[in-house]
């Protein structure tokens, strides 16, 4: 049987409190992490998808307007009969195309990473479930065992010396005589009680 040396019952009580505090903090951390993950998933699926789809549509409209403005500059002549410079319109068109490419790239990233994020969240939930089960089941069991140990140790410490030795003193007289050797048992052979 293993032995334990307990010098301070207060240490067990402090450990019990620390265990309960750990369970509380861990539960909050797990809930916060799950909430953040679900919030990020919602942000990616709805807000970002809508934002970049709208940006693609607006930038496409801007590209169309810039192309139209450039075409007008190249087709129509000014009052002097010359074709006006279309440098500004060309720069605006290049900028609008870059904006469209950027928005399309972002929208494609949202589409690509949304299922990946969902998969990662499911993996995270599966892995953290073991910790959640430990916190929900094993820590309360450990706390109950600690409470029982502290109660038993406290009862033992509260015993008075007479209570601790009382069971040994309540032996029947016949058992005491059997268990204690008499003076005759220790005399050398040949000596008797009356002769010297």
Element (H, E) at 190: none
Residue 55 near residue 61, CB atoms below 8 Å: no
Half-sphere exposure of residue 124: CA atoms within 13 angstroms, side-chain side: 14
Write the CB contacts of 150 (distance below 8 Å, at least 6 apart in sequence).
9, 12, 13, 16
What's the rounded mean pLDDT across residues 62-84?
84
Cα 129-27-119 angle, rounded to 5 deg: 40
The two three-digit tokens of residue 4, written as one number: 């334990």
Q: Which phi and psi angles does 170 have, rounded to 5°? A: -95, 20
Asked if pLDDT for residue 100 goes beyond 90, the answer is yes
pLDDT of residue 142: 92
pLDDT of residue 141: 93
Q: State how far the Cα of 182 lies from the Cα of 167, in Å rounded to an integer.
A: 23
Q: State how far the Cα of 12 lies from the Cα of 5, in Å rounded to an integer.
A: 12
The two three-digit tokens of residue 121, written as one number: 């969240």
What's the rounded mean pLDDT across residues 122-142?
92
Q: Give me the chain's average pLDDT, please.
A: 83
Express each pLDDT in 134-168 by its tens digit: 999 999 999 999 999 889 888 888 887 665 555 55
What's the rounded mean pLDDT across residues 61-81?
86
Taking the CA atoms of the chain, what radius of gyration do you get in angstroms?
Answer: 44
Asked if pLDDT for residue 8 goes beyond 90, the answer is no
What's the rounded mean pLDDT across residues 59-80?
87
State the helix-helix crossing angle for 9-42 and 139-158, rounded to 10 degrees: 170
pTM: 0.58
Q: Which phi and psi angles does 195 have, rounded to 5°? A: -105, 145
């Amino acid at each position: 049987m293993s032995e334990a040396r307990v010098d301070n019952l207060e240490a067990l009580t402090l450990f019990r409190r620390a265990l309960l505090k750990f369970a509380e903090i861990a539960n909050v951390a797990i809930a916060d992490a799950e909430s953040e993950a679900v919030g990020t998933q919602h942000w990616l699926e709805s807000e970002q998808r809508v934002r970049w789809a709208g940006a693609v549509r607006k930038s496409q409209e801007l590209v169309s307007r810039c192309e139209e403005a450039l075409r007008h500059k190249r087709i129509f002549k000014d009052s002097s009969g010359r074709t006006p410079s279309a440098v500004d319109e060309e720069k605006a068109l290049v900028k609008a195309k870059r904006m469209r490419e950027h928005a399309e790239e972002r929208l494609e990233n949202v589409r690509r990473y949304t299922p990946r994020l969902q998969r990662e969240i499911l993996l995270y939930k599966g892995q953290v479930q073991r910790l959640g089960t430990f916190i929900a089941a094993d820590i309360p069991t450990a706390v109950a065992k600690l409470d029982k140990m502290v109660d038993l140790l406290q009862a033992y410490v509260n015993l008075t010396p007479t209570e601790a030795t009382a069971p040994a003193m309540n032996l029947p007289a016949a058992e005491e005589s059997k268990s204690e050797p008499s003076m005759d048992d220790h005399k050398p052979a040949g000596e008797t009680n009356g002769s010297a």
